[in-house]
Structures are given as C-alpha cells and as structure tokens.
C-alpha cells in the first residue's frame, strides 16, 4: 500500500488506535508497550500485512528529532530537582564518561569480530552507547516500580541527559568515516562546544521561558501549553544554530521549568505527558515502518553477539568504572547496569549513516535495530524481577508519590483548610505564582465577596479573601500560613 493524502489519516489513526489498545493490555503478558508499537509498525510495513511502502530515512529522522524533543522535554518537566540534586554528580558522570566507555567497549568488540574499520566500529558503538529516555521513562513509570534511595532519579537523570553525548559521538565518528583524512583530535573542539553551549543555552532559555510564561497574558488557558511547545522548539533550534547540542539544552530547560512556579503548570504538565506518549507511539510506529524485517535476518547472529556483549559486559563495565569513586552499594550499581535500555534513540541515530551514504550504513542500521529490540525485550521485561532479586525494590506500601504525581492527580490532597487573608498579609496584591507557594499544597478555591472563584497562577490575592487550601498534612498548612502571612517589611 502506498501512503497517499486520501488514506494517510485513516491508516495513521488506525495504527494509533491499535497501538493504544495493544499497549493497554501488554503488561499483563510482561511485554513492554514500546516493543508492541514497534511490532505494529513492522507488521504494517513493506514486509508486513498492510505492505505500506515507507523507505524515507530523512523523514524518519525528522519525525525522530521532533519526537525526542517532546519526550526529553516531558521527562525534564517531570524531574524533581530535590530528588536529583543528591545524585547529580553520579548522573552526569554516567551520562558522559559512562557513554564514552560504552562506545569504546562496543567499538572495540565490533572491530575485533567484524571486518568494520575502527572508525566504523566506533560509529556503531557510539550509536548504541546511550540508554533510551523513551524506554526508561515509559517502562519505569508504567510499571510504577518503586526503588530504594535515589535509584530511580539516577536512572531517569542518566537516560534524560546522556543522549546528547551519544549524538555528539555519533556525529564525530560519522565525520571521521566520511572524511578519513581527518584526525580524531580534530573533532574534540566540536565536542566541547556542543556540550558547553548546550548546557549554558538550556539554563538561559529556561529562565527566559519562565519569565515569558508568567508575564504574558493569554486569554485562554489552553494556549499556555502551546506557548511552551513554541519555547521548546525555539530552545532546540536556537541552541543548534549557536553550535550547541539542542537535546541537552531542551532537557536542562525543562528541568529548570519543572521546578519553578508557573502559571497553569498543571495544564502544561498534563499536555506534555499526553504528547510524550503520542510521540513515543508515532516514533516507534515510524521506525517499525522504516525497517525491512527480511533484511534483519542476515544480521541476527552478529546482532545477538553485540547485544549480549552490550548487556553483559560493556554496560556493566562502563557503570562500574564510572561510579568507582562514589559510595554506592554493589547491588545498586548492578541494577543501574541492568537498566541500560536501548530503544528508539539509537535507531534514530542510525539514520544519520544512511543519509550520509556510507558503505555499511544499511548493515549498521539493521544491527542497531536488532540490538534495540533485544535490549527492550530482555531488559525491559525483567526490571521488576531483577529489582527484587537485587533487593533494591521498595515494598508496595512504601511507594511514595512525587510532587508532580500529586499535581497531575484530580484530587491529590486529603487535608482541607480555610485560611482567611488580612490586609497585613504579605500575599495581598501578589500573584499566586510569585508567592513561592509550597509544592505539596494547592489553592483549590478562593471565596471573595460571597462568590467562589477557581484560581490559577496569575490570580492575585486580595484583602478579605478566604483561601481553601488542600494539603497532605498539618506541617504543610503551617508552611502555607508562613508564606501568606509574612509581615510586610517596612522601610527603615
């Protein structure tokens, strides 16, 4: 079947519907949802039942980049700074040194067992060197897997921040494959520029985005998520234009925004949560359509060898070496090693050699595809089992909800208090978003002159208001009172 303007919406919506329905029941059988999305795309592709002909790496790459923007941004928004701050150094080391070590291990192994040149081998190693944010975020959260101490924030920080390193390595070694007269040292300045500019730009655009979101006055609440989408793409493209890494910048920007008080933050989080899932489905369906299963069969043997080496040797060695200077129990290191999921990101990166037209591009793409599938199939289905085996999983009654989880719930609080506001309150004539309101409390309603209004971040507190505050416990209510009733400092 050829995709035309007449049938693309029908076919696309049917595939999307089937993916959602299949994903709803997939975990009853222990199969990761993302793998089903990929399988549905393959079944609909050229070698599948529907026979949809899709052989456009450039379009697939474009869809992949757009999808990764949403997935990384959504993951960043949902990252709690208080949780990642204690493990920031470990996460950064894993997402940089760990990725480099993984790429070197895989590259050396591929060079030893194949006829690839050293640069081609390192290119393949670089493509599969990072853990996949889409796979890690979706599998950990859909399984609702609670882990001891800071394991889950460590895994999510690593997966959200290590794609930029893998991307830079991929582009660097692809350049060396295409231009074999260049030295490996020639790409180091470019690498440093990408990481430094990307990090600085992400923080700067985060601060700018917060100012724009809170100060701009839009008529409809539904426009605020659209505004954030525009700011996200501006951050990515402007950083890329400046020579920085766009993926790193949007992740840092999103982490910053996710930990600030924003107008209509709840709507923004809900919108991006849904969009992230949509982009994951679209991305995996697209990559499933792009691959030809008949071309995977000849590389299954070599692909399985590389995949097993990655899971059993390369990933554990890179994690152990990266974390050797940090105090961490061996069981935690072992579990981090096991959650080295590869998914859509390596497949997207594998389209770059295809577009560059290098000799072994097709073989690299098919090997990477096979590695990603086996990684999600082997590691993704055993996360809970391995967590229990290594004794790093929390008992069900000890599972804790994050602030973002509470914010996304319809009725997240159990304690309701009425708090009157007087003229001497610090909060009078201030917007809610500017108060530094406790993250575990929500102003559900405001009673003003006998009428009830539903507030948002831009609502100003007025004298004689009565606030109906939802919170978890009395200590949070006390904190709310301190925020609202701080005395106004009089000039000396």
160: pLDDT strictly greater than 90:
no
145: pLDDT strictly greater than 70:
no
Return the DSSP state at 486.
P
What are the tens digits of pLDDT across the range 334-375?
Answer: 999 998 888 778 888 999 998 888 888 889 999 998 998 888
Q: Which domains does the chain have, with CATH numbers?
A: 8-398 (1.20.1530.20), 413-484 (3.30.70.1450)
The reported pLDDT for the residue numbered 403 is 43
Q: pLDDT grade, residue 218 (50/70/90)?
A: confident
The reported pLDDT for the residue numbered 411 is 44
d(CA 398, CA 84): 20
The reported pLDDT for the residue numbered 128 is 92
In sequence order, what are the beta bridge partners of 460?
431
The reported pLDDT for the residue numbered 226 is 92
d(CA 104, CA 172): 13
Q: Indicate left, alpha or beta for 429 from its phi (over 0: left) and psi (-120 to 50: alpha).
A: left
What are the tens digits of pLDDT across the range 15-28?
Answer: 777 767 766 555 44
The reported pLDDT for the residue numbered 408 is 44
383: pLDDT strictly greater than 90:
no
| Cβ atoms of 351 and 57 closer than 8 Å | yes
**What mean pLDDT is predicted for residues 9-19?**
74
Q: pLDDT grade, residue 134 (50/70/90)?
A: low
Q: Indicate left, alpha or beta for 243 from its phi (over 0: left) and psi (-120 to 50: alpha).
A: left
Cβ-proximal residues to 269 (8 Å cutoff; 6+ apart), any chain? 77, 78, 258, 404, 407, 408
Q: pLDDT grade, residue 402 (50/70/90)?
A: very low
Q: pLDDT grade, residue 261 (50/70/90)?
A: confident
Q: In percent, how much of the chain has pLDDT > 90?
A: 23
What are the tens digits of pLDDT across the range 90-118?
Answer: 888 998 899 999 999 999 999 999 989 99
Q: pLDDT grade, residue 55 (50/70/90)?
A: confident
What are the tens digits of pLDDT across the range 263-281?
Answer: 888 888 888 888 888 888 8
**What mean pLDDT is predicted for residues 132-146?**
66
Q: pLDDT grade, residue 189 (50/70/90)?
A: confident
Among 65-74, 112-121, 182-191, the least confident range: 182-191
What are the tens digits of pLDDT across the range 164-175?
Answer: 888 889 988 998
143-152 burial, b at 16+ Cβ within 10 Å, e below that, comes to: eebbbbebbb
User: How far are the Cα atoms of 37, 134, 229, 293, 344 from residue 365, in angstroms, in the given order?
Assistant: 19, 19, 31, 12, 12
Average pLDDT, whole number, for the chain?
A: 81
The reported pLDDT for the residue numbered 385 is 85
The reported pLDDT for the residue numbered 197 is 93
| Cβ atoms of 109 and 306 closer than 8 Å | yes
In the chain, the largest separation of any two C-alpha atoms, in whole Å, equals 81
């Amino acid at each position: 079947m050829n995709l035309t303007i007449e049938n693309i919406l029908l076919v696309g919506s049917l595939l999307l519907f089937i993916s959602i329905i299949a994903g709803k029941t997939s975990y009853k059988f222990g199969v990761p949802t993302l793998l089903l999305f990929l399988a549905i795309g393959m079944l609909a592709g050229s070698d599948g039942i529907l026979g949809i002909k899709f052989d456009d790496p450039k379009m697939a790459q474009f869809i992949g980049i757009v999808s990764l923007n949403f997935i990384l941004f959504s993951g960043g928004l949902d990252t709690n700074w208080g949780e990642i701050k204690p493990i920031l150094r470990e996460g950064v080391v894993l997402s940089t040194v760990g990725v480099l070590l993984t790429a070197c291990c895989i590259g050396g192994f591929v060079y030893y067992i194949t006829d690839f040149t050293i640069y081609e081998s390192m290119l393949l190693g670089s493509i599969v060197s990072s853990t996949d944010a889409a796979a890690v975020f979706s599998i950990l959260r859909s399984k609702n897997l609670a882990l001891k101490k800071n394991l889950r924030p460590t895994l999510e920080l690593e997966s959200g921040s290590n794609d930029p390193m893998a991307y830079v390595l991929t582009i660097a070694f692809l350049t060396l494959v295409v231009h074999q007269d260049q030295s490996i040292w020639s790409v180091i300045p470019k690498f440093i520029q990408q990481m430094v500019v990307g990090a600085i730009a992400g923080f700067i655009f985060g601060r700018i985005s917060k100012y724009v979101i809170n100060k701009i006055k839009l008529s409809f609440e539904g426009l605020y998520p659209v505004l954030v989408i525009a700011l996200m793409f501006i951050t990515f493209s402007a950083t890329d234009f400046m020579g920085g890494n766009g993926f790193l910048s949007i992740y840092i920007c999103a982490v910053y925004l996710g930990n600030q008080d924003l107008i209509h933050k709840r709507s923004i989080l809900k919108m991006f949560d849904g969009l992230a899932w949509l982009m994951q489905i679209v991305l995996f369906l697209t990559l499933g359509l792009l691959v030809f299963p008949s071309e995977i069969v000849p590389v299954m043997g070599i692909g399985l060898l590389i995949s097993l080496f990655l899971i059993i040797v390369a990933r554990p060695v890179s994690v152990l070496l990266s974390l050797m200077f940090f105090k961490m129990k061996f069981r935690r290191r072992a579990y981090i090693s096991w959650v080295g999921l590869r998914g859509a990101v390596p497949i997207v990166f594998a389209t770059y050699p295809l577009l560059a037209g290098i000799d072994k591009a097709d073989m690299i793409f098919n090997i990477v595809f096979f590695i990603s599938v086996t990684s999600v199939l082997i590691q993704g289905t055993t996360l809970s089992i391995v967590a229990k085996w290594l004794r790093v999983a929390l008992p069900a009654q000890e599972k804790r909800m994050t602030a973002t989880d509470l914010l996304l719930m319809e009725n997240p609080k159990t304690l309701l208090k009425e708090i009157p506001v007087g003229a001497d309150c610090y909060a009078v004539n201030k917007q809610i978003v500017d108060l530094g309101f406790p993250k575990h409390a929500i102003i559900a309603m405001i009673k003003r002159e006998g009428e009830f209004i539903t507030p948002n971040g831009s609502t100003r507190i007025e004298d004689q208001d009565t606030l109906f505050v939802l919170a978890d416990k009395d200590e949070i209510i006390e904190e709310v009172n301190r925020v609202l009733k701080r005395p106004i400092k009089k000039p000396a």
